[in-house]
Amino acid sequence: MLNLLLMSGVVTTTFHTSSSSGISPFFGGNSWRIETSGVFAFTHTYSPGIPVSSSVKFYTENWTNGQKQMYVTINPGSSNSVSSSIGTQYPVLNFSGVINSLYVWSRTTDSSGDRFGFAVLNIDGSTNYTKVNSTTLSIP
């Protein structure tokens, strides 16, 4: 954590690190392709965890015909874990606490494969986070 002193008082900015693919959902998103029908899942972890007061809005790629489905889970396996429904393209997860990890699950039944995308659209209705470098974001 870095404390920046300003003439008007103290502003605390917290730096959160992850892999480059873990930071990218906040700044445009992740994308991938499943080449044949199947499942692909991954987990992004954050250190320290990202604080949330009320909600997180995501973009998950889903098609109504059911061939392409996704969902996201905040802190899988923990007591404060929450998941979106399969088929919701812009899920808003009501959550209060710290995001230590995001689990993303995707599936296609198309034998030709499908392309997928995932993004964090906002935290508590705001996008006040800043990209420091390829593995770090800051939140005032």
The answer to whether residue 45 is domain-embedded is yes
By residue count, the chain amounts to 140
The answer to whether residue 57 is domain-embedded is yes
Direct distance between the N- and C-terminal alpha carbons of the chain, in angstroms, rounded to an integer: 10
**47-58: pLDDT as tens digits:** 999 999 999 999
The answer to whether residue 47 is domain-embedded is yes
CA distance 69 to 91: 13
The answer to whether residue 14 is domain-embedded is no
**Which residue segment(s) compose the domain that 67 sits in?**
22-125
The answer to whether residue 4 is domain-embedded is no
User: Identity (one letter) of the amino acid at 106?
Assistant: S
Structure token pair of residue 72? 């996201």
Query: Residue 51 belongs to a domain with what CATH number?
Result: 2.60.120.510
**27-45: pLDDT as tens digits:** 888 889 998 899 999 999 9
The answer to whether residue 137 is domain-embedded is no
The answer to whether residue 89 is domain-embedded is yes
The answer to whether residue 5 is domain-embedded is no
pLDDT for the residue numbered 10: 47
Cβ-based neighbour number of residue 40 at 10 Å: 16
Q: What global pTM score does this model have?
A: 0.84
CA–chain centroid gap for 136, Å, is: 14
Total number of domains constituting the chain: 1
